[in-house]
Amino acid sequence: GKILACSTDPLETMLRHFEKFPPDLIVLATHQRTGIERWLHKAVAEPLARRSRAMTLFVPREGRGFVSLKDGSLALKKILIPMDHDPDPQAALDKALLLVRGLDCVVGKFLLIHVESRSRRAAPVVHLPDRSGWSFEITVRHGHVVDEILTTERGWHPDLMVLATQGHRDFVDALRGSTTERVLRGAQCPVLAVPAAK
């Protein structure tokens, strides 16, 4: 950990620091502002994650976490992984597996969700490891991508959501936010955003 002297722009200060010392992981609390609140307050978390291109764990200010505030124990038993063909979801799955192995967690379930629409094909193929004690389920939903992901999250109550992300694709994304940004604004659990390979 390091404390930075901050200029009037904390985003630019952190990005300059990350250019010199690239992080493996950024952990950010987020206010999850939407609507007019999002326009009135300068966001830091989403632009920092997008511009740094580092893997980022977003912890919702009002949501639930997977680390106990009482004793520091971990509750990482259910992980939700939304997936599509682009970016490749294998990176998100691999990072989730690396995280649970590194934290020595006994994970019960991984739920991989793909949302089909007119422009989206069937679920992408991912390599699922053969690990005793862990179960993997792939489900396909139909409808609006962000709504279906958030509905699944609210119904299944995962301890963590892991998404592969590639940032903004076009002008519309720049105005309303990427799929990842829109999901994390509504998520109740922590969200780990895994950037696509450059």
Q: If you ran DSSP here, which 8-state letter would residue 74 be given?
A: B
Question: What contacts 114, CB < 8 A, 6 or more positions away?
Answer: 82, 83, 84, 120, 122, 123, 124, 138, 139, 140, 141
The arithmetic mean of pLDDT across residues 29-44, rounded, is: 54
CB 53 within 8 A of CB 87: no
Q: Is the pLDDT of residue 195 over 90?
A: no
Residue 172: pLDDT over 50: no
Selection from 155, 74, 139 nearest residue 108 by Cα: 74
Is the pLDDT confidence value at 38 over 50? no
Q: Checking phi first, is residue 26 left (phi over 0); if not, alpha (psi -120 to 50) or beta?
A: beta
Query: Could you report the per-residue pLDDT of 20-36, keeping only the tens digit for each?
Result: 888 888 888 876 555 44
The structure's pTM equals: 0.80
CA distance 148 to 159: 18
Q: What is the pLDDT of residues 106-149, one digit of tens each?
A: 668 999 999 987 766 788 889 988 766 788 999 999 999 999 99
Question: Between residues 15 and 152, which one has the greater pLDDT?
Answer: 152
Per-residue model confidence (pLDDT) at position 149: 95
Angle at 144 between CA 138 and CA 147, to 5 degrees: 80
Q: Which of 108, 169, 101, 110 is closest to 138 using CA atoms?
A: 110
What pLDDT sits at residue 196?
79
